[in-house]
Every structure is written in structure tokens, then in C-alpha cells.
Structure 1
Amino acid sequence: MKAFTKRTYGGPEVLQLEKAEIPTVKDHCILVKVMANSANPADWHILRGKPFIARLSFGLFKPKEPILGSDFAGIVKEIGNGVKDFIIGDRVFGEILGGGAFAEYVCVETKVCAKMPENIDFPIMASIPVAGLTAYQALITHGKIKTGESVLINGASGGVGHFAVQIAKAYGASVTGVCSVKNIDFVKSLGADKVIAYDKTNIHQHKDEYDLVIDTHGNLTHSDYKRMGKRGVIVGFTTMGHMFSVLMSNAISKYPLTQFTAQANSDDLNMLASLVKDGNIKVHLENTFPYTKIPEAISFIEQMRTRGKVAMVWE
């Protein structure tokens, strides 16, 4: 099979399209012919081996997993022993956070994937797992958002943010999104009740109060959370220094602030599939690349100006 491999840490230029062995199907796993992927910030962080501390998981001096990629959607080609919920021919989507998805075939545990809704295209569903799970778990699992509550979503136009706006509205919340001036209309189209342009209004001086504050951009300080929200959820950070500053401030505070890394599971993926099927989530694809241009797709999202998601198609 064809796969994009990384033998060393670096930028998209280190990715090479090579031949690799089709994975052997393991127990409780399925072999999926990949039809589409999507690109995530996690991909370029893993590709570059940054922050350096992440190399403790992904390989200190060189990558443990040669094939990059997390999000995928495709067709089940083989099933392993003990698989009960999937059959050959099922259209599925899911994630492999450790990598391996930017290939013609992936072998994945059934617990990290789910069936696709009918009549939904592969690039759409491939765009959901990492960003959709992060948004869903930030709001529901950790944010515990309730009908009628208010939520501020910082970074509302990006991959995670544009899902968070729609999920929060689906669960009956009042949503205020924070984005640039150029993305105001886009965030409103997602269902946001109010939009704050960070290049017109200093969010660090914003004084309105919300039941929940979610930061997908990663630049809010601990005092920002306490000033604006009854509780908060951290999705990302702009720098390691900023991360340590917020977490150390929180360690000596009683403020209910949660930091997490999304965990793939079939229940949450099935819920996201249901939200897509019912029209509560509409994936915005800013760009779609052929699989041969996966390095270009990574470069595109690394600019951190993507509106919604970027997908890559295998044909």
C-alpha cells in the first residue's frame, strides 16, 4: 500500500510517499480501506516533535510510528476475531491518535471508530473525529453544559471551535463566539448568538460573564477564566510557557478549570454521527486536497488560519 512516512522530525518536507505493508488484522480490530483523512494541529506537532516533551510518547530521537495521521474515514475490508459490531463493507470513521492514518489501509480497534451515517461523504466524516471529539468532550464531558446556559467559545472559527459552536447550540446553550473580524459572518452562520472580534475588542478586558468558558485558541489567562466564567475548559495552549502559567495558577486556585486531551470512543463518535445525520453539525471544509498533497495540507493548517477543516481524499 501507499503511505506517507516520516523517518525524522521536521516540517512537511520530511514526509515521503512510500510503499508499506498492509497491516495485519488483530483481534478486536478492523482493517479499513481509507477513503479520506483530515489534517489537525496534532499532526504537525507530532511531525515536528514539538513541544519536545511530547517525544516521550512519540519517540525521543526519531518517530516511533513512521506513518503520520489521526483522522480517517473508509470501508471495512477485514474483521478480526471478536469483532461483533462491524461487517465487511461498513462505512466507518474514527481516529488513531498515535498515527498511522495517512495510508491506503489502517488497522484500528473497534472502540475508536463508528459507522458513518448514510448519504454523508467520506471527507465530511473524516473531518470529525479529533476536532469533533475535542469539542464534544469539552462541552459535554468536562464542561457539563446544560440547556439554557451561556458559553463563550474562544477560537470559534477553527476546526474545534466551529464544531463547539454547533454542538453547544444543539444542546440548548446560548453561544458567544470569539474570532477575527473576517470570520464574524461565518461564526454567526454556525448559530452563534453573539460574536466578539478579538482584533476589535480586547478579550483580556472583556467583562461579560458566562456559565462556561472554552478556549480552543489557547491564549486565555487564568484570570480571564475567573473573570468571565463560572467554570472553564482548556482545549489548547499557544506556548508551553503559557500552559505552565495557567496550570500553576490553577493548582493554587479553587476555580473549576479543566484541561484534557480528547479520548476516542465509539459512544461519542456515534453521538457525533447522529448530530451530523440530524443536521445539527455541518462540517465546513475550507479546502480538500488529493492524498498526494498531504504535505501541502499540513502546511496549510500549520498557518493556523483555517476556517473549519481541511480534508484529503484517497482515490
Structure 2
Amino acid sequence: MKAFTKTKYGGPDVLRLEEVEKPSLKEGHLLVKVYANSANPADWHILRGKPFFARFSFGLFNPKDKILGADFAGVVEAVGKNVSGFKVGDRVFGETLQGGAFAEYVLAPAAVCGHMPAGTGFDVMAAVPIAGVTALQAIVTHGKLRKGESVLVNGSSGGVGHFAVQIAKAYGAEVTAVCSNRNIDFVTSLGADKVLAYDRENIHQHIGNYDLIIDTNGNLTFNDYKRLGKRGVMVGFTTIGHMISVLLKRAFSKFPLAQFTAEANTKDLNTLASLIQEGKIQPHIFKTYPYQDIPQAIGYIECMRTKGKVVMVWVGEI
């Protein structure tokens, strides 16, 4: 099968499209024929081996896992032992942070896969896993959003942010979104009740009173969280130093601020699928690449100017 491989850390140019062996089926896993992928910041962080401490998981000097890629959507080709709820021919989507998705076939634990809703395309559902699960867990699992509460979403036009706005609205929140002036119309179309343009108003001086602060951009200070909200969830971070500063201050405060790494599971993926089926959320595909251009897609999102998601499709099948 074709797959994008890496043998060293670096930029997208270190990726090579090669013929490799199809993964062997394992207990508890699904073998999925990949129809589409999406690109995430996690992909280029893993590709570059940055931040450095991540190499303790992905390989200290060279990558442990040869094939890059997390998000995928496709069709189940084989089902491993002790797997229930999936069968050959099912249309599924999911993520595997250990890599392997930027290939014609991916072997993924059944526990990180969900069923695609009827009538949706592979390109659409490939855009969902990491970003959608992160947004859902930030708002529901860690943010503990209740109907009628007010939410501030910082970084509302990106992959996670555009899902966060829609999910918060679906759960009955009043949403104030922070984005650039050029993305105001886009974020408004997602359902945001109010929009703050950070290039018109300094978010670090903004005066507000929100029940929940969701920071997908990662530039809010600990004082920003305390000034603006009753509780917060830190999703992204701009630098390791900034993250450590925020978490150290949290350690000496009673302010409820959660910080987490999202982990996909079938329940949350199926929740997202239901929200899409009901028309309550819609993944926004900003740009689509053929699979041959996966390195270019990763390079594009590394510039961090994307509205919604960047998707890559295999052999034109979506």
C-alpha cells in the first residue's frame, strides 16, 4: 500500500510517499481502507519532534512510528477479535495519535473509531476526530457546560475553535467568539452570538463576565481567565513557557482551570456524528488536497491561518 513515511524529524519535506506492507490485523482493532484524512497541528508537532519533551513518547532521536497521520475516515476491511459494534463494510471515522493514518490503510483500535452518519462524505467526517473531540471534551467533559450559560471561545475560527462555537450553541450556551477581523463573518455564520476581533480590541484588556472560558489559541494569561470567567479550559498553548506559567499560577489558586489532552473514544465520536446528523454542527472544510500533496497540506496548516479544517482525499473517493 502507499503511505507517507518519515525516518527523521523535520519539516514536511522529510515525508516520502512509499510502498509499504499493509498492517496486519490485531485483536481489538479495525483495518480501515482510508478514503480521507485531515491535517492537525499535532501532525506537524510530531513531524518536527516539537516541543522536545514529546520525543519521549514519539522517539528521542528518530521517530518510532514510521507513518504519520491521526485523523481518518474510511471503510472497515477487517475486524479483529474481541471487537463488537463494528463489521466489515461499515463507514467509520476516528483518530490514532500513534500515527499510521496517512496511508491507504490504517490499523486503529476499535475504541477510537465511530460510525459515520448516513449521507455524510468521507471528507467531511475526516475533518472531525481530533478537532471535534477536543472541542466536545473541552466544553462538556472538562468545561461542564450547562444550558443557558455564557461561553467565551478564544481562537474561534480554527479547527478546534469552529467546532467549539457550534457545540457550545448546540448545548444551549450564549457564545462570544474571539477571532481576527477578517473572520468575523465566518464565525458569525457558525452561530456565535457576539464576536470580538482581537485585532480591534485587546483580549488581554477585555472586560467581560462569562461562565466558561475556552482558550483554543493558547495566549490567555492566568489573570485573563480569572478576570473574564468563573471557570476555564486551556486547550492550546503558544509556547511551553506560557503554558508552564499559567499552570504554575493555577497550582496556587482556587480558580477552576482545566488543562487536558483529548483522547478519542467511540462514545464521543458517535455524539459528534449525531450532532452532525441533526444539523447542529457542520465541519467547515477550508481547503482540500489530493493525498499526494499531504506534505503541502501539513505545511499549510503550520502557518496557522486556516478557517476550519484542511482535508486530504485518496484517489478522489469521497
- TM-score, normalisation: structure 2: 0.98
Post-superposition shift, 1:42? 0.3
Partner of 2:157: 157
| Aligned-partner Cα distance in 2 for 1:246–1:208 | 20
| Aligned-partner Cα distance in 2 for 1:157–1:310 | 13
Partner of 1:194: 194
**Cα-to-partner distance string for 1:4-62 (whole Å, 9 max, x where unaligned):** 01100000000000111100111111100000000000000000000001000000000
Partner of 1:237: 237
Note the 1:2-81 alignment, pairs <5 A.
2-81=2-81
* One-letter code aligned to 2:229: G
* One-letter code aligned to 1:102: F
> 3-state DSSP class of the match of 1:288?
strand
* One-letter code aligned to 2:155: G
| Aligned-partner Cα distance in 2 for 1:220–1:14 | 33
Partner of 1:177: 177
> 3-state DSSP class of the match of 1:297?
helix
| Aligned-partner Cα distance in 1 for 2:104–2:30 | 14
| Aligned-partner Cα distance in 2 for 1:27–1:99 | 18
Partner of 2:146: 146
* One-letter code aligned to 1:206: H
Partner of 1:221: 221
| Aligned-partner Cα distance in 1 for 2:32–2:194 | 41
> 3-state DSSP class of the match of 1:268?
helix
Post-superposition shift, 1:82? 1.5
* One-letter code aligned to 1:138: A
Post-superposition shift, 1:84? 2.0
Partner of 1:102: 102
| 2:166 pairs with 1:166 | yes
> 3-state DSSP class of the match of 2:204?
helix
Q: Which structure 2 residue ranges, 5 or more long, are not aligned?
A: none
- Percentage identity across paired residues of the two chains: 67
**Cα-to-partner distance string for 1:184-212 (whole Å, 9 max, x where unaligned):** 00000000000000000000001111000
- TM-score, normalisation: structure 1: 0.99
Post-superposition shift, 1:81? 1.2
**Cα-to-partner distance string for 1:168-199 (whole Å, 9 max, x where unaligned):** 00000000000000000000000000000000
Tell me whether 81-90 or 11-20 shows the greater mean CA deviation: 81-90
> 3-state DSSP class of the match of 2:294?
helix
> 3-state DSSP class of the match of 1:21?
coil
**Cα-to-partner distance string for 1:263-286 (whole Å, 9 max, x where unaligned):** 110000000000010111111111
| Aligned-partner Cα distance in 1 for 2:210–2:84 | 44
| 2:300 pairs with 1:300 | yes
Partner of 1:289: 289
Post-superposition shift, 1:98? 1.4
| Aligned-partner Cα distance in 2 for 1:208–1:107 | 46
* One-letter code aligned to 1:34: V
* One-letter code aligned to 1:210: Y
| Aligned-partner Cα distance in 1 for 2:67–2:154 | 32
**Cα-to-partner distance string for 1:143-164 (whole Å, 9 max, x where unaligned):** 0001000000000000000000
Note the 1:259-274 alignment, pairs <5 A.
259-274=259-274
Partner of 1:115: 115
| Aligned-partner Cα distance in 1 for 2:168–2:252 | 30
> 3-state DSSP class of the match of 1:73?
strand
Partner of 2:210: 210
| Aligned-partner Cα distance in 2 for 1:276–1:97 | 23
* One-letter code aligned to 2:128: I
What is the number of equivalent residue pairs in this alignment?
A: 315
> 3-state DSSP class of the match of 1:205?
coil
Runs of 4+ in 1 over 6 A off after TM superposition: none
